Structure 1
Amino acid sequence: MDKTHALTAFSALSQPTRLDVFRLLLKAGETGMAAGEISDALGVRQNTMSANLSVLHQAGLVRNERQGRSIRYFADLDGTRGLLGFLLEDCCGGNPDLCQPLISKLACAC
C-alpha cells in the first residue's frame, strides 16, 4: 500500500460512524451484514449509512456483494492487511524480533 492509499483509508476511518461500521464488519467476519442490518445495529439512517459505506468501499476497507435485492457488506481483509502492513513496514528499525510481541498480539486479539 502506498502513502496516498493509506491516507485515504485513515481519512475514511476518522469519522466515528465509519469507524463503528468498520469494526462491526470485522466482528461479523465471513457472514458480513446487509446494509439495513448495519443501519439498525448502529442506529443510523439508511441514506446516511449508504454514504458511509461508499466512503469505506472507495478506501478499500469494505467490499460488497449483491444477494438478491440487497447488498451485503464485508470487511475487506486484504485492504486491512495492506493498511496494517503499511503501518508496520518499518517497525522496530528492521529488527523483526522486537516486532514479534506486537504481531502476536494483533494476530491473537480476536
Structure 2
Amino acid sequence: MESEIAVRRLAALAQPSRLAVFRLLVKAGPDGMAAGEIARALDIAPNTLSAQLNLLSQAGLVRQRRDGRSLIYSVEFETMSALLLYLMEDCCLGHSEICTPVVEAAARGACCPTPQESLS
C-alpha cells in the first residue's frame, strides 16, 4: 500500500463521528446496516451521517448497496485488513513483545467472535 493511500484512509477515521460510524459497521459485519439504523444508533443527523459515510466511502473503507428503498453500508474488510497490515508491516524491529498482544488477539479470534460468543 502506498503511504498516500494509508494517510487518506487514516484521515477518514481521524474524526470522532466517522470513527464511531466505522466501528459500528465493523460490529455489524458483512451484512452492514441501513443508514437510518446507523443514524439512530449513534444519534447523528441524517445529513451529517451522509457526509461522514461519503468520506469513508471515498477512502475505500465502506461500501453501500441498495436494498429496496434503503441504503445499506458495510465495511470493506479487505481494505481494513490491508491498512492494519500496512501499519504493522515493519513492527517491532526485533522486539516481538511489542506486537505480541495484537498477534495473540488475532490468533484467538478476539476480533471475530463466534456467533455464540456474540449472543452472550
Q: If the length of structure 1 is used for normalisation, what is the TM-score?
A: 0.89
1:100 positional shift: 5.1
- What RMSD over aligned residues (CA atoms) do the two structures have, in Å? 1.7
Q: Unpaired runs of 5+ in structure 1?
A: none
Aligned-partner residue type, residue 33 of structure 2:
M
1:1-110 correspondence runs (5 A): 1-93=1-93, 98=96, 99=99, 101-106=101-106, 108-110=109-111
SS at match of 2:92: helix
Cα deviation code 1:59-96 (max 9, x no counterpart):
11111111112110001101101110110111122x5x
Aligned-partner Cα distance in 1 for 2:38–2:63? 14
Give me the whole-angstrom Cα distance separating, in 1, the residues matched to 2:101 and 2:49.
Answer: 36
How many pairs does the alignment contain? 108
Identical residues among aligned pairs (%): 50
Question: What residue identity is the alignment partner of 1:9?
Answer: R
Distance 1:2 1:63 in 2: 21
SS state at 1:66 partner: strand
Q: Whole-Å Cα distance in 2 between the matches of residues 51 and 103 of structure 1?
A: 34
Q: SS of the residue aligned with 1:63?
A: strand
